Amino acid sequence: MAQRPWLVILTLVLTLALLPVLGAKPRIQAQPGAAEALESAFTRVAELVGPSVVSLKALQGSGKAKQGYGRGRPPYGTGSPRRSPVSQGSGFILDHRGFILTNYHVVAGGNSILVRLSDGRELHGRLMGGDPQYDIALVHIQASNLKPAILGDSDRIKVGQWAIAIGSPFGLENTLTVGVISATGRRGLRQNSPGDFIQTSAAINPGNSGGPLLDIRGRVIGVTSMQIAEGQGISFAIPINKVREIIAPWVE
């Protein structure tokens, strides 16, 4: 049977109409330069906040020095008292007066505190006050040319936002890790702790404790506090707005 002319024409018209649709590229495409922009944002955070992050050791003991601050470091000084580290962690400079924020468990176990700045200076720190339940401590040093961190607003963070941690895991100073805000308002994580914690997938390891948890703009949104040893990417930080309340009597 001969094909009807109108059927041939209709078929041709439909084919031509559908060609753009069938050959169309997906509308959602990665914008040129998006990866580079995100990479630059992480780099800016490292450059902005890195100089504000410190390493701390709580020390105890006496005798001659034989141990340096960290891997490959020179000794504290020949003939100076030996100070065995009982705990160590991270912290960050709060203001130009020399106040440093860290975790209480990082500095509470020794009879002296050694603070190492990002430029290599090692200074004696004095415990000014703190809250064992919230695990927050305020340390003071006498130093010039300090670079304070910028504090953010932890009440405004949302699940899924970028989260960046900087600290000294296992003594590896100024280590940066990246993740997201996994949850907010986590409770009951530590015995007798009344706080709500920020949960993050940014890697937090021993030695990170007391360091800053940051947003993508480099503002401190929390103080890193602990991780679940059995988990991968399950770490917690104390919201910076709560920290502000705790330290107010000593810094105002």
Enumerate the active-site residues: 105, 135, 209
**Residue 116: closest CA among 173, 71, 67:** 173
Element (H, E) at 249: helix 240-251
**Residue 199: closest CA among 235, 233, 163:** 235
**Residue 89: closest CA among 165, 182, 192:** 165
Place of tokens 């078929």: 11
Residues in Cβ contact with 237 at an 8 Å cutoff, skipping those fewer than 6 apart? 165, 197, 198, 200, 204, 213, 221, 222, 223, 224, 225
SS (H, E, C) 113-144: EEEECCCCCEEEEEEEEEECCCCEEEEECCCC
DSSP bridge partners of 151: 220
Structure tokens at 87: 């705990």
